[in-house]
Amino acid sequence: MVDTVDSLRVAMATLNYTFLNFILLFSTAFNTVNSYRAVVVIHGVLTGSSSMELISNRIQEMHPGTEVYNIPRYAGWSSLEPMWRQVEEIGMDVISIGAVFPEGINLIGYSQGGLLARAILQRFPNHNVKNFISLSSPQAGQYGTRFLHLFFPNLTCETAYELFYSKIGQHTSVGNYWNDPHHQKLYYKYSRFLPLVNNKGNSTTEVFKEGLTKLKKMVLIGGPEDGVITPWQSSHFGYYDANETVINMHDRPIYMDDLIGLKTLDKTGRLTLITVSNIPHIEWHKNISIVDDFLLPYLD
């Protein structure tokens, strides 16, 4: 039965990929060169492409002629599938779209989608993404259970590691970036995703750094009233120490040792951190002012 399900999943992924290529070629044949780069948008956990329509529509309204690709994959409950699986499939979409626009594309990811987008850039360093915008995403991990109670009602921060740092727990996207500051040994032992893309796993690779340092611009957006991304500074690569004191990005090894290129981007003026107050997590992608003030200026 498992083999059958896996075979069906592979078949559907192949069909979706083929259909996407057809649509891309069709649109290329009938569209002239636009003044703005094409944009790829990736939704968050437990939602889908429809949740990102305000962003897509506003970009097209304010930047007429812009091609916007709102990724439909892994909507709803399927967004809880392992991160690497999503990175591979959505990553191929991003590469396919980029191939149609050799002058380069822009990439926006919201919430979990922003972490997926970042990992895609690292996993596929041959991408041609120019500007990447991470909108309230757990880039340094997550240690809060507010939204997890939708599907794990009895889960607490103190005990979540017992689920997530196990073979079963690592079959969930959230488990892949759950970063318990009090159980770091277990985090590095069991987590199959976040330590690796942060180049702090058992082995490191320059490839994961190359995929980010080739960007023209990386923009990280978050805010103190987010209420879901915990700590909210994770959206800026800040995170808790063992005492749950937030250590800002500039004082963490991922930046100081330039493990994935954050320092390189920063020192060359290509890393922008934006803090916006009074925006709850569920409003970042539904607020026209956020699009106008903090997304559009970075979409060339």
223-254 burial, b for 16+ CB within 10 Å, e for fewer?
A: beebbbbbbbbbbbbbbbeeeeeebebeebeb
pLDDT at site 162: 95
Residue 150 pLDDT level (bands cut at 50, 70, 90): confident
Of 220, 272, 291, nearest to 56 by C-alpha is 291
**Got the DSSP string for 204-244?**
--HHHHHHHHT-SEEEEEE-TT-SSSSSGGGGGT-EE-TTS
The residues with which 275 forms a beta bridge, in sequence order, are: 222
The residues spanned by each domain of the chain are 31-298
pLDDT tens digits for 29-55?
444 445 899 999 999 999 999 999 999
Per-chain mean pLDDT for the chain: 91
Report the CATH number of the 31-298 domain.
Answer: 3.40.50.1820
pTM of the entire predicted model: 0.89
The four Cα atoms 177, 179, 185, 191 give a dihedral, to 10 degrees, of -10
Tell me: pLDDT of 154 over 60: yes
Catalytic residue positions, numbered:
111, 226, 281
